[in-house]
Amino acid sequence: MITAEKVAFFVFAIPLVLTAAGVLWARSPVYAAMNLVAAFFFLAGIYVLLSAHLIAFMQILVYAGAVMVLFLFVIMLLSLGEARIGTEPKKAMQYLGVLGAVALASVLVSAIARVSDGGMRTVENTFGTVKAVGNVLFTEFLLPFEATSLLLLVAIVGAVVVAKERI
């Protein structure tokens, strides 16, 4: 039976797969980055379908915003031309890599086929909102949450140390 929700799923899922594949097909890193931004937006739509409102918002804010700006800045900084990508001949290992990826896909599909498709549980309206996720985050996951702040601090300092020629 076709419901509006299923139609919405395909409205987001089909462009998501196309743009994700576009990351690999793109001729230059800038096109790949643009495809990735689009993929993140469509994935945020999928998250909303799963009523993960906060995570969908963070997906756009952190991924499509912060991380992709970082990528574009590095592409700009390195000034990589279009000639730098995909011109060298493919090696045998790369074809083997495709084979390995296909093998992994078949394993995943056979594993998913065994998942009991018991259907979604009905959840209350507050599921996935800032309040609900924050409640879990600041009680059950308080220590990992604080560790995350430490991780981000270390990552920032590490990025500066690695990227800067002279400190």
Question: 141-160: which residues touch another protein (CB under 8 A)?
Answer: 141, 144-145, 148, 151-152, 154-156, 158-160
Enumerate residues 39-98 that contact another protein by CB under 8 A: 39-40, 43, 46-47, 49-52, 54-55, 58-59, 62-63, 66-67, 70-71, 74-75, 77-78, 80, 84-85, 88, 90-91, 94, 97-98
The three-state secondary structure class of 138 is coil
Cα 3 from chain centre: 27
Q: Of all residues in the chain, what percent are helix, strand and coil, respectively (each to 5)?
A: 75, 0, 25
In the list 16, 38, 41, 45, the residue contacting another protein (rule: CB under 8 A) is 16
Query: Quick check: 162 binds another protein (CB under 8 A)?
Result: yes
CA angle 103, 45, 66 (to 5 degrees): 90
In the list 27, 76, 82, 140, the residue contacting another protein (rule: CB under 8 A) is 140
The three-state secondary structure class of 117 is coil
Shortest spacing between CB 56 and another protein, in angstroms: 9
Shortest spacing between CB 28 and another protein, in angstroms: 10
Q: How many residues bind another protein (CB under 8 A)?
A: 87
Output 65-71 pairs: Cβ under 8 A, ≥24 positions apart: 68/33, 68/36, 68/37, 68/40, 71/33, 71/36
Tokens for 155, please give them.
């990552």
In the list 83, 92, 163, 167, the residue contacting another protein (rule: CB under 8 A) is 163
Measuring CA to CA, how many Å separate 153 from each of 17, 94, 140, 149, 150? 34, 36, 22, 6, 5
In the list 11, 15, 60, 137, the residue contacting another protein (rule: CB under 8 A) is 137
In the list 2, 11, 128, 166, the residue contacting another protein (rule: CB under 8 A) is 128
Shortest spacing between CB 16 and another protein, in angstroms: 7
